[in-house]
Amino acid sequence: MKVETRKTIPYPDQKPGTSGLRKKVKVFRQPHYLENFVQAVFDVLGAISGKTLVLGGDGRYFNREALQIIVKMAAANGAGRLIIGQGGLLSTPAASCLIRKYQTLGGFILSASHNPGGPDEDFGIKYNATNGGPAPESFTNAVFARTLEISEYRVADLPDLDLDRTGETQWGSMSVRIIDPVEDYAGLMEELFDFKLISQSLKVGALTVCFDAMHAITGPYARRILEDRLGAAAGSVINAIPKEDFGGGHPDPNLVHAHALAELMNAPGAPVLGAASDGDGDRNMIMGARFFVTPSDSLAILAANAHLLPGYREGLCGVARSMPTSQAVDRVAHAMGIDCYETPTGWKFFGNLLDARKITLCGEESFGTGSDHVREKDGLWAVLFWLNLIAVKKQPVAEIVREHWRRFGRDYYSRHDYEDVDSSAAEGIMTHLRGQLADLPGKRFGSYKVAFADDFRYEDPIDGSISEKQGVRIGFDNGSRMVFRLSGTGTEGATLRIYLERYERAPENHGLDTQESLAELIALAESLSEVKQRSAMAAPTVIT
Q: Residue 504 contacts by C-beta under 8 Å, 6 or more apart in sequence? A: 409, 410, 411, 412, 510, 512, 517
Of all residues in the chain, the percent with pLDDT exceeding 70 is 99
Q: What angle do CA 137, 30, 22 make, to 5 degrees?
A: 30
- What is this structure's pTM? 0.94
Tell me the helix, strand and coil percentages in the chain, rounded to 5. Answer: 35, 25, 40
Quote the CA–CA distance of 176 and 172 in Å, as a whole number: 10
The per-residue pLDDT for 256 is 85
Cα atoms in the 13 Å half-sphere on the side-chain side of 531:
27
Q: Which CATH architecture has domain 3-181?
A: 3-Layer(aba) Sandwich (3.40)
Continuous segment of H or E residues that includes residue 424:
helix 423-434
β-pairing, 318-322 with 152-156?
A: unpaired
The per-residue pLDDT for 95 is 98
The answer to whether 83 and 92 are in contact (CB under 8 A) is: no
Q: How many residues does the chain have?
A: 544
Answer yes or no: CATH 3.40.630.10 is held by domain 410-543: no
Per-residue DSSP letters for 223-276? IIIIIIIT-PPTTSEES-S--TTGGGS----STTTTHHHHHHHTSTT--SEEEE
The per-residue pLDDT for 492 is 62
Continuous segment of H or E residues that includes residue 453:
strand 448-455
The per-residue pLDDT for 489 is 54
426-443 pLDDT, tens digit each: 999 999 999 999 999 999
Tell me how far CA of residue 36 lies from CA of 86, 109, 185, in angstroms. 26, 16, 31
Domain boundaries, the chain: 3-181, 185-408, 410-543
The per-residue pLDDT for 488 is 59
Comparing CA positions, the residue from 177, 164, 149 lying closest to residue 53 is 177
Q: Give the mean pLDDT of the chain.
A: 96
Which CATH code of 1.20.1260.10, 3.40.120.10, 1.10.10.10, 2.40.10.10 fits the domain covering 185-408? 3.40.120.10
The per-residue pLDDT for 77 is 97
**Phi, psi torsion values for 338, nearest 5 degrees:** -120, 165
In 10 A of CB 3, how many CB atoms? 17
The per-residue pLDDT for 542 is 85
Quote the CA–CA distance of 124 and 513 in Å, as a whole number: 37
Give one word for 100, left, alpha or beta, with left for phi > 0 and alpha for psi -120 to 50. alpha
Quote the CA–CA distance of 34 and 28 in Å, as a whole number: 6
The answer to whether 481 and 521 are in contact (CB under 8 A) is: no
Helix (H, G, I), strand (E, B) or coil at 537: coil
- Residues classed as catalytic: 113
Domains 3-181 and 185-408 share a fold: yes
In 10 A of CB 233, how many CB atoms? 14
User: Which parts of the chain register pLDDT below 50?
Assistant: none
